[in-house]
Structure formats: C-alpha cells, structure tokens
Amino acid sequence: MSVTKEEIAGKIKVEAGWKGRQDFNDTNENDLSYSGIPLKPFYTADDVDPSIGQNRPGDYPFTRGIHEGMYRDRLWTRRQYAGFGTGKDSNKWFKDLMAAGQMGLSVALDLPTQMGMDSTDPLGKHEVGRVGVAIDSLADMEELFDGIPLDKVSTSFTINGTAAIILAMYLVTAEKQNVPPEKIRGTVQNDILKEFVARGCYLFPPKESMRLVGDIIEYSITKAPKFNPISIAGAHMKSAGATMVQCDAYKFANAIAYCDEVVKRGYSIDQFAHQFSWLSCSNRDFFESICRLRAMRTFWAKTAKERYNSQNPKTQQLRIHMGGDTDSMTFERPMANIGRIALYCLSNVLGGCQSMQLPCYDEAYEIPTEDAIQNALDVQMTVAYESGVTKVVDPLAGSYFVENLTQSILDELDVVVNDIVETGGAVKWIEDGRLQRKIAQEAYLWEERIKSGKEVMVGANFARDDKSRAEYETMMHPYSEETYDYQANSIKKVKEHRNEAKTQAALAALKTAADGEGNLMEPLIEAVREYATVGEICDTLKASFGTFHAPTGV
C-alpha cells in the first residue's frame, strides 16, 4: 500500500495554527528541514539580520551560549541513562560506570515504580526491574546508593508521576549519610504534562499532578537549592511522533504552565526558574538540531524576561541536557547506529548543551548493555577530547544558513507557543486531547515516509542485508526473573521490620495533608522515612486525588 503525499494531505485535516511537515505538502522535500521549515539552496548576507554580528556568548538572549567560555571553561557532563533489576544490581553498575568515565548518575526506574505501584501489584508484576531499577521503599533506595557519597555525586532521576516520593527517598537516604538537603545535587524530571501526551507515566488528574510539580519546586528552592526540581522535556514527544520544533514548542507551553503554577503561590520567577533544567534531543537533521538549541535558548531568555519580568540572567539561561533521537536506532545492522549517535553528539556540542546522554547502538532491542553504554561514552569522550570542536565557542555563528534557520525556528516557536497559551494553555490542550491528536497525526505521516522509502534509514529501508534479528539478539541485556522475587521478599522484610503504627500514622498524616492545600513534601518525607512503600503512598494520594485517563488522540 503506497500512499501519496496528496492522499495524506487529504486524509489528515490540518488544524489551524498547526505548523508541521504537512503544511508544506507542495514543496519539494529537499527544500524542507526535518520539522518542515522551508530551506533555500544557499544563503547570503541578505538572509540574516546584520546586527547578529554583535551578539556574544554569555550575553542575553544567550543565542550563542549561556556562558562566555562554554567548553573552554567546562565540558558538558557525560551522563548515560542506566539502571535495571534491583537496587543492588544497579549499585554495582553505577560504580562501574563512574569508573568508566561517567561524571553524573542518571537513574532509570522500572515501570511499576514510575506508575506508583509496588513490585507485587498484579498489573505490574511482568515489568519489575525490566526498563529500570525497582524501588518499592526506602530500603531499595539505600541499597541503590550504598557506598556512593551523595554530597559528591549528582544524580538525575527519570521520574515524573512519583517524582515527589523518589525525591523524598533520596533526601532521607542522603540524611542517613549525614548529607543535608542543601548539599544534594541532581534532578528529578517531574515534568508531568508531557507524560499525558507521550510516555504515559502519570497517576493523578492534571490539576492534582500540577500541585505535586509545584510542591517539589517549592520544596527544593527553599530547602535543597542545588537540586533541580524539574527537567522540562521535549524528547519524549519526539518518540511519540512530534516534529522536533513541535517538541520544543510544546515543551515551552508546558514550562509556562509550570511557571504559572509556582508564580500563583506567590513566588517571582527569579526565585525558582534558575533551578530549571531542560531536556531535549538532536535528531537526523544535523543543522536543524544545532539551530534548535540556539533558538530554544533565545526563546526561553525572552520568555523569562518579557513574560515573567525576570531580572536575573541565571533564570533566563536555558541549561539543557541533550539526548539523541532514540527512535532512529535501528534493529537492523545495529552498528550503523554508532554513526548516528556520533552525529547527534556533534550537533549537541555545536549547539552548546550542558550535559548529554546518547542513545546506544543496541537501544532498539532492549535497555542498553554495558558495552553499548561504554561505546556511547567513548563517542562523547572522542568529541570532547579529540575533535577540537570545544576550542571555539558557538563556532557556526555567522553562517548565513545557521543564523537564518535559528531565526526561522524562533519564529515558529513564537507562533505555536502563543497559539497554545492564548487558547487555554497546555493543561487545557492536554485535557481536550489536542496535543495528543497533533502528535498522533504527525507520527502517522512520518511512519508513512519511512515505510514508503521517501526517508532513508540506512540498513533498515536502504542498503539492507539479510541478517536476522536473532543474530544480534545475543548482545541483548539479560533480564532476570529473580528480580520479582527479590523485590517481593524485600517488601515483606520491610513490612516486618518497620514500626507499623508509625508507618500508618505517617500515611494518615499524608492523607490529611493531601485533602488540604499545603505542600506535600514534608508529609511524604515522613511516610518514606517510616518505610511506607511506593504503592501505599500512591494509594493514599489516589484516595484524595482520584485517577485520570488522558484522551489518546486517535
């Protein structure tokens, strides 16, 4: 079944205000960037604003980088995503990774933990320890960081729906190492809005979810000032099918919703947004990826200053963690993926990111093996230490093309973000399923382009070989069925040894707090300290908050 562009254009009704690839159906595809920005065969001085020549790195609006010296002064943080099995399994792996050249930890959590269930919950029992480490109670967190000094390491948790609980566990684990909250460094992703449109790890309705997001931000700015209470993410929306520029725009629409949530509690932007971390990814379009970073920095600086009246440059600086398009990792000829990730790494660096994780060559099969993670670290270290690209800041500035594309992306962000904000904002769009629908439509169009061979994926739909998947599956990450038993036993032990009366009292106090309006972090910390499990805590919160099913968009 081959579908022509014209047929697609007829089938997919384009919503007003939606800029995406299909808005340009009459254009030759060589003349479009990945996200659908029109390109010219070449650019001249007429295509750029002459005043850009005066811009300097480290100066508002930070198009050229948030620091004057960039990588000359400090390289980006290499932070590969890892975690599987039990806390004990991952603890060993973390120690190995740090020995192999990793600078910060990035913790993957399994799906039951992300969905607020204990490992023994029937709905989650097949997923225990599979895509990340299983955390059921404080005991697992203690095991995960055993012998890792939490005042020395920065730890990033990919956790959203249960971010407040995981942060509470991290704080108590640190406390037991005599590390006070003000010394811990790291990030919880805590970006719940994108979970409703992509990734799906949300527990409560949007309004209650936003309250928890706000509680984490409020707690961290008052008690744990070195910890990033949120990492506002676009990359997952790419995985769900959005174009890159849509990801960036939706991410900023979500960010505005988070800022409004905290501002309405009486804080000014400069009291909290300097601790924001951002997350995005580069993809196959090398130049668009570089220009997106320049445009995102500019957009955020202007939003902070003009929309929220920020006076502090730190608030206006977009500190961003970059990945690479995980979806582009092919099953077929997985070693071809190493070329892709090297390009992602280079565009992240030329665009000026602050930290980086790369997808791994075996990513299409399973969570990455240790060899594949080492390879991704090697790619990062090669670009950092061998290529010389770190010597000059924002080296592509002044290219007619790069400057023009940066401006075009910035214009597009203005249009799309304003459209969302002026028609109810991100929360309303998500409740109505509008963002989900746009992303699902975009996914369909892209898959059709791959299937029809209009877009090349080397080894997958171009220059294929006859090797079967099975030949590569020998390098897959092993899954141990024993993880479930280990966790079930750990929960049992925890429940036997904890002071049950204290645990129940802490859960009751949490319920009372959730029924009220105050910040939930302290009651959560108390419940965690008494070894209440993730499932017990989430059931308590659900009794107050209710649950929610986001519209699917199809």
Partner 1 sequence: MQRKIRVLIAKPGLDGHDKGAKVLVNVLRDAGMEVIYTGLHQTAEMVARAAVQEDVDIVGLSYLSGAHIGLTQEVINALKEAGADHMKVIVGGNIPERDFSQLDTMGVAAIFAGGSSYDDIIGTFNDLVAA
122 scored as a contact of partner 1 (CB under 8 A): yes
Which one of residues 467, 469, 492, 497 is an interface residue with partner 1 (CB under 8 A)? 469
425 binds partner 1 per the rule CB under 8 A: no
Report the distance separating Cα 410 and Cα 427, nearest Å.
23
Q: Does 131 sit near partner 1 (CB under 8 A)?
A: yes
Is 165 a binding residue for partner 1 by CB under 8 A? The answer is no
CA pair distance 547, 540, nearest whole angstrom: 12
Q: Is 506 exposed, middle or buried (0-12, 13-18, 19+ CB in 10 A)?
A: buried
Q: Beginning with the edge strand found earlier in the chain, give each strand of the sheet holding 105-107 in spatial order.
A: 81-82, 105-107, 154-157, 185-188, 227-228
**Nearest CA-CA partner of 85 in 398, 490, 372, 461:** 490
**Per-residue x/- track, 483-522, partner 1 (CB under 8 A):** ----------------------------------------
Of 239, 271, 369, 504, which lies in the binding site for partner 1, with binding defined by CB under 8 A?
239
Instruction: Name residue, tokens 């204990």.
Output: 118
443 part of the interface to partner 1, by CB under 8 A = yes
Position of tokens 């017990």?
Answer: 536
State whether the Cα torsion 371-375-376-377 is positive or negative: positive
Q: Say what the alpha-carbon torsion angle 423, 429, 435, 438 is, to the nearest 10 degrees.
A: -50
Vertex 376 angle, CA 80 and 472, to 5° = 110
Supply the DSSP string of 412-442, one letter for each residue: HHHHHHHHHHHTTHHHHHHHTTHHHHHHHHH
Nearer to partner 1, 131 or 263 (CB): 131
What is the helix (H) or strand (E) element at residue 451, kind and residue range? helix 434-451
Nearer Cβ to partner 1 (193/409): 193
Is residue 399 a contact point for partner 1 (CB under 8 A)?
Answer: no
Total residues at interface with partner 1 (CB under 8 A): 47
> Per-residue contact track with partner 1, 318 to 337, x per CB under 8 A?
------------xxx-----
> Rule CB under 8 A: is residue 1 a binding residue for partner 1?
yes
Residue 116 to residue 21: CA distance in whole angstroms: 37
Provide the minimum distance between the beta carbon of 495 and partner 1 in the complex, in angstroms, as a whole number.
Answer: 23
Give the residue, chosen from 70, 240, 345, 383, that forms a contact with partner 1 under the rule CB under 8 A: 240
Smallest separation (angstroms) from partner 1 to the CB of 253 = 20
Please report, as residue ranges, which positions from 448 to 467 form the binding site for partner 1 (by CB under 8 A). Answer: 451, 460
Per CB under 8 A, does 124 bind partner 1? yes
Contacts with 518 (C-beta within 8 Å, 6 or more apart), sequence order = none
| Closest approach of partner 1 to the CB of residue 443, in Å | 5
| 452 burial type by CB count under 10 A (0-12 exposed, 13-18 middle, 19+ buried) | middle
Sign of the alpha-carbon dihedral angle for 327, 330, 335, 336: negative
Distance from C-alpha of 331 to C-alpha of 231, rounded to nearest angstrom? 29
Site string for partner 1, 242-261 (x = CB under 8 A): --------------------
Instruction: Name residue, tokens 């940066």.
Output: 406
Residue type, 256: I
Judged by CB under 8 A, which stretch of 71-79, 110-118, 398-406, 525-533 contacts partner 1? Answer: 110-118
Binding mask 368-397 for partner 1 (x = CB under 8 A): ------------------------------
| Min dist. Cβ of residue 202 to partner 1 (A) | 9
Longest dimension (CA), the chain: 74
Least separation in angstroms between residue 177's CB and partner 1 is 31
**Taking the CB of residue 15, how many other CB atoms lie within 10 A of it?**
12
| Contact between 189 and partner 1 per CB under 8 A | no
End-to-end Cα distance, the chain: 21
- Give me the least distance between CB of 153 and partner 1, in Å please: 28
**Which one, of 39, 72, 80, lies nearest residue 367 by Cα?**
80
Q: Rounded to an integer, what distance in angstroms lies between the CA atom of residue 544 and that of residue 367?
A: 35
Q: Does 366 bind partner 1 (CB under 8 A)?
A: yes
Considering the rule CB under 8 A, would residue 25 count as an interface residue with partner 1? no
Query: In the set 444, 449, 488, 539, which binds partner 1 (CB under 8 A)?
Result: 444
Q: Which of 5, 64, 79, 199 binds partner 1 (CB under 8 A)?
A: 199
- Residue range at the interface with partner 1 (CB under 8 A); choices 16-24, 48-56, 408-416, 440-448: 440-448
Segment near partner 1 (CB under 8 A); pick from 23-31, 184-192, 315-323, 470-478: 470-478
Of 44-52, 147-155, 361-369, 405-413: span binding partner 1 (CB under 8 A): 361-369
Q: Closest CB to partner 1 among 229 and 241?
A: 241
Which one of 165, 201, 210, 291 is in contact with partner 1 (CB under 8 A)? 201
Binding site for partner 1 (CB under 8 A): 1, 3, 11, 111-112, 114-115, 117, 122-127, 130-131, 195, 198-201, 239-241, 330-332, 364-366, 440, 443-444, 447, 451, 460, 468-470, 473, 476, 479, 549-550, 552-554
